[in-house]
Structure 1
Amino acid sequence: MNALVVLRDSVEGAGDLLQEAVGVLVFPDIVKLGFGVGGQYGEGALFIDGKPTYYYATAGASFGLQLGGVTKSEVILFMTDEALQQFRGSRGWEVGVDGTVALFKAGAGTRVDSRTVQSPVVGFIFSSEGLMADLSLEGAKITRLAR
């Protein structure tokens, strides 16, 4: 999946972290548009043992001064069985409400490993150019698709 390739290329140590994760939720193309009121939507897959197991949609709305659009990708790593089971058992999982996600942002020398990652859920937001700064997962609801 191209989103995982971009993540590995953008963040030193991401490949090792991906291997350690018990579940990897990948949204390769999330479209975010805004004209006063904004919204975003994207579909993705939950990978367990390297195989797509379930399919999900992420959607959200935002308010405030905004104009334009962006396409982004999100990767959410579940580092513990407990965090993955909590996610899978929810009818609609919302970051900040149903679970806390440690969000890694762009910066010089961005590196991750099991020593720096203490959270059971870790998130990355990026474009084809690499990891993006000043974006949030807050407010987006993730729901399982019937596929």
Structure 2
Amino acid sequence: MITIEREIMMIKTLMAMMLSFMILGCTTTSTDSLKNNMSERQKINSQVNETLVQLYKEAKGSEQMALQAKGILIFPSVYTAALVVGGEYGKGALRIGNKNAGYYQTVTGSLGVQAGAQSKAIILFFMTKESLTDFQKSNGWTAGAHANIALFKVGADGTIDTDTAKASIVGFVLTNGGLMFNASLNGTKVSKLDI
């Protein structure tokens, strides 16, 4: 026969066990989230490094320009898919002085006669402190609306055109086939990731 005191003790024990499981569940979820974020950052960092190496090979003078840049925003893989309505999405990192200063995502939508899918890398060099600060302070930044981007041009000697080098933000677009010369970055939306 179970006494009332024993029944109360069993209820208290059961409640303590439930509370322990809830706390462990929250801790596990939080730990898993931290692990996933760390894994995501490592993946982005690795892809960013590979993209910069490819850029320096493809665009003569870009490595020297990178040394002068106040910050570089790199999206290693921006995926584009379209069937009348199109969209682009990618994750990347902002580098200031060879150190990460945040992680970002880009999202762009379009409408028109289009079909297909592809991947490209987008790299933005912030050549002035003002352009970098404006970008960092924005809560959602759009190319063409918040700042104009000069898409790089190559001069007669095969190096980056001097007019391009004078712009406050210089953009590069890379595909598997190399640099894209006729791309437009206007409308590219960028926001900070919390990872």
TM range (shorter): over 0.9
What code does the residue aligned with 1:104 have? F
How far apart, in 2, do the equivalents of 1:68 and 1:107 lie? 32
Q: Which has the higher contact order (CA 8 A, sep 6+)?
A: 1
* Larger strand percent: 1
CA contact (8 A) 2:76 2:91 kept: yes
> TM-score, normalization: structure 1?
0.93
Please state whether the residue corresponding to 2:67 is helix, strand or coil: helix
Instruction: Give the corresponding residue for 2:81.
Output: 33
How far apart, in 1, do the equivalents of 2:102 and 2:164 lie? 29
Q: Does 1:87 align with 2:102?
A: no
Q: Mind listing any 5+ residue stretches in structure 1 that lack a counterpart? A: none
Instruction: Give the corresponding residue for 2:17.
Output: none
> TM-score, normalization: structure 2?
0.71
Equivalent of residue 98 in structure 2, options 41, 47, 50: 50
* Larger helix percent: 2
> Structure 1 residues 113 and 105, CA, compared in 2 at 3 Å: closer, same or farther?
closer
Instruction: Give the corresponding residue for 2:41.
Output: none
- Deviation string 1:65-102 (CA, Å, 9 cap, x unpaired) is 10001100010000111110000000011011000100
Q: CA RMSD in A?
A: 1.8
Q: Mind listing any 5+ residue stretches in structure 2 that lack a counterpart? A: 1-48
> Structure 1 residues 105 and 114, CA, compared in 2 at 3 Å: closer, same or farther?
closer
What code does the residue aligned with 1:25 have? L
What code does the residue aligned with 1:98 have? H
Stretches of 4+ aligned residues off by more than 3 angstroms: 105-110, 113-116
Please state whether the residue corresponding to 2:186 is helix, strand or coil: coil
